[in-house]
């Protein structure tokens, strides 16, 4: 078996036994990328890959020199980080994001090929990248999901052992579901956002994309924790999430929200998720129907708050400090020309929507009202979690759709995130694990949510399901 097809924990075991070296893993990944990525396009800007010396000693570290792929919006010192946008062309951060520093301290090798993404994380398909779309490894005619589609596709196609993505409205979980891998959005504040190029600061979170739940728990244990450089981060009660894994979910109380099985959900997706619920029941979980009545407002609330914050965050990209600068007769003309040529169509759309929502005369009618409804969505979850340990839903209403199918209809594209958005608005953790396949062989994702800082609960439930099914294989 090729080393690139193994999980991180399998590789750690082999490294401990000195059966392989960190260099061997990188060589295996390099071979896989050369064979596959011309078709999948999970990576952008193939900067030089410096293989560790055979004598490099990672033996006293947790991760033993295992490589990790990084989304193109997480700053890595010495490697370009451009958010797959022309306006950040050539930007090379002079510092590491906190998650990168933690990974290096734990003995990870940072892969120099950044993964493809929707520009500034604006999208659900990885079609809005200035480098072109990524293709789904399960069917190259389909999208891998977005905006962390490159990370999910790299892991699913064995071009990465594991990867980091970012999740603002489902951008880790939805591509994980589309590509048939595991993706987790942590509780807001559990993982430092320092060094993550912002989309919407009150919603963004960095999280893991892995081949199985065990690797997900290990990676989360490495990157979680309080960071003095991020005032929104907190110190969790537990940090060893691998210790949460176990097969016993007897008497765990699980809510099945009726609002997530709406008209329009794909028949095969609904069937796969309900079959997954039956597996959980057989393992001893107590499942019952619950209600999250404000779910129908999640999409409009999200696209007001997210675009408002995006328009503010993207104001800094004007040709003065970062990336692209177009020549013009004066500074105002330079601003306009740089932003016009630098931003893609979806980025411009979201800047305009957000600026409108924040403008005088519309702030109260749109943004302020959206923040109030956001609080109602949070209260819905809080009420359910008084009687439930976890909530189980589909990750997406459909499996992966064809490339080009929704790119001309923004509203259809935005509805792809209808089941994932609420977790970001409420700030709660959520994970997607594979739970089935369509007749065409496309993966289907099961989403598990829980209350704030209950990552241990969702990992325990996800692990129990994974160990009693074969979809992750």
pLDDT attached to residue 236: 82
Residue 450 lies in a domain: yes
Tally of domains within the chain: 1
pLDDT attached to residue 235: 87
Residue 146 lies in a domain: yes
Residue 222 lies in a domain: yes
Residue 368 lies in a domain: no
Q: What is the CATH number of the domain that holds 24?
A: 3.90.1300.10
The predicted-structure confidence for 191-245, as pLDDT tens digits, reads as follows 999 999 999 999 999 999 999 999 999 999 999 999 999 999 998 877 899 999 9
Structure confidence at residue 48 as a pLDDT band (50, 70, 90)? low
The predicted-structure confidence for 133-182, as pLDDT tens digits, reads as follows 999 999 999 999 999 999 999 999 999 999 999 999 999 999 999 999 99
Q: Using alpha carbons only, give the angle 324, 325, 330 rounded to the nearest 5 degrees.
A: 160
Catalytic residue annotation: 71, 147, 171
pLDDT attached to residue 392: 98
Q: How far apart, in Å, are the Cα atoms of 293 and each of 258, 259, 422? A: 9, 7, 12
Q: For helices 8-16 and 213-223, what crossing angle results, to 10°? A: 80
Lowest mean pLDDT among 41-55, 57-71, 297-311: 41-55
Q: What percent of the chain has pLDDT over 70?
A: 98
Distance, CA of 385 to CA of 390 (rounded, Å): 7
The predicted-structure confidence for 64-78, as pLDDT tens digits, reads as follows 999 999 999 999 998
Structure confidence at residue 411 as a pLDDT band (50, 70, 90)? confident
Lowest mean pLDDT among 52-56, 254-258, 308-312, 370-374: 52-56
What value does the mean pLDDT take over residues 268-283? 97
The predicted-structure confidence for 88-114, as pLDDT tens digits, reads as follows 999 999 999 999 999 999 999 998 889
Q: Is the pLDDT of residue 454 over 90?
A: yes
pLDDT attached to residue 255: 98
Distance, CA of 353 to CA of 349 (rounded, Å): 6
Tell me which residue range forms the domain holding 225: 3-248+429-467
Residue 375 lies in a domain: no
Q: What percent of the chain has pLDDT over 90?
A: 89
- How high does pLDDT run on average in the chain? 95
The answer to whether the pTM exceeds 0.95 is yes
* Contact assessment for residue 450 and residue 385, using Cβ atoms and an 8 Å cutoff: yes
């Amino acid at each position: 078996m090729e080393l690139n097809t193994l999980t991180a924990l399998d590789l750690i075991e082999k490294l401990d036994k000195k059966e392989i070296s960190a260099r061997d893993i990188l060589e295996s990944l390099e071979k896989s990328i050369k064979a596959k990525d011309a078709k999948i396009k999970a990576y952008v800007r193939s900067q030089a890959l410096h293989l560790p010396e055979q004598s490099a000693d990672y033996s006293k570290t947790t991760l033993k020199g295992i490589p990790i792929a990084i989304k193109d919006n997480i700053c890595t010192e010495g490697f370009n980080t451009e958010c797959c946008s022309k306006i950040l062309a050539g930007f090379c951060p002079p510092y590491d994001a906190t998650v990168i520093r933690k990974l290096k301290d734990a003995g990870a090798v940072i892969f120099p090929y950044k993964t493809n993404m929707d520009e500034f994380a604006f999208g659900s398909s990885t079609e809005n990248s200035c480098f072109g779309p990524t293709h789904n490894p399960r069917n190259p005619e389909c999208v891998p999901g977005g905006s962390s589609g490159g990370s999910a596709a790299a892991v699913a196609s064995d071009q990465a052992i594991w990867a980091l993505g970012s999740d603002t409205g489902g951008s880790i979980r939805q591509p994980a579901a589309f590509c048939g891998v595991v993706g987790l959005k942590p509780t807001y504040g559990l993982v430092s956002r320092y060094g993550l190029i912002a989309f919407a600061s009150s919603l963004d979170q960095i999280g893991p994309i892995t081949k199985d739940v065990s690797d997900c728990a290990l990676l989360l244990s490495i990157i979680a924790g309080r960071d003095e450089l991020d005032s929104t981060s907190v110190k969790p009660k537990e940090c060893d999430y691998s210790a949460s894994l176990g097969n016993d979910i007897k008497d765990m109380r699980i809510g099945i929200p009726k609002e997530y099985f709406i008209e329009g959900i794909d028949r095969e997706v609904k069937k796969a998720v309900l079959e997954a619920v039956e597996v959980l029941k057989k393992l001893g979980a107590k499942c019952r129907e619950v209600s999250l009545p404000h779910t129908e407002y999640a999409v409009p609330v999200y696209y007001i708050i997210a675009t408002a914050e995006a328009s503010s965050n993207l104001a800094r990209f004007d040709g003065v400090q970062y990336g692209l600068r177009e020549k013009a007769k004066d500074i105002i003309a330079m601003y306009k020309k740089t932003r016009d040529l630098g931003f893609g169509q979806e980025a411009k759309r979201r800047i305009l929507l957000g600026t409108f929502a924040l403008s005088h005369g519309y702030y109260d009618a749109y943004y302020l009202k959206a923040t109030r409804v956001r609080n109602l969505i949070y209260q819905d979850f809080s009420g359910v979690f008084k009687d439930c340990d976890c909530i189980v839903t589909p990750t997406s209403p459909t499996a992966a759709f064809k490339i080009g199918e929704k790119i001309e209809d923004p509203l259809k594209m935005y509805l792809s995130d209808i089941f994932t958005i609420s977790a970001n608005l409420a700030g709660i953790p959520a994970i997607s694990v594979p739970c089935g396949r369509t007749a065409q062989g496309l993966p289907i994702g099961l989403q598990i949510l829980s209350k704030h800082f209950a990552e241990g609960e969702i990992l325990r439930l996800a692990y129990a399901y994974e160990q009693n099914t074969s979809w992750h294989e």
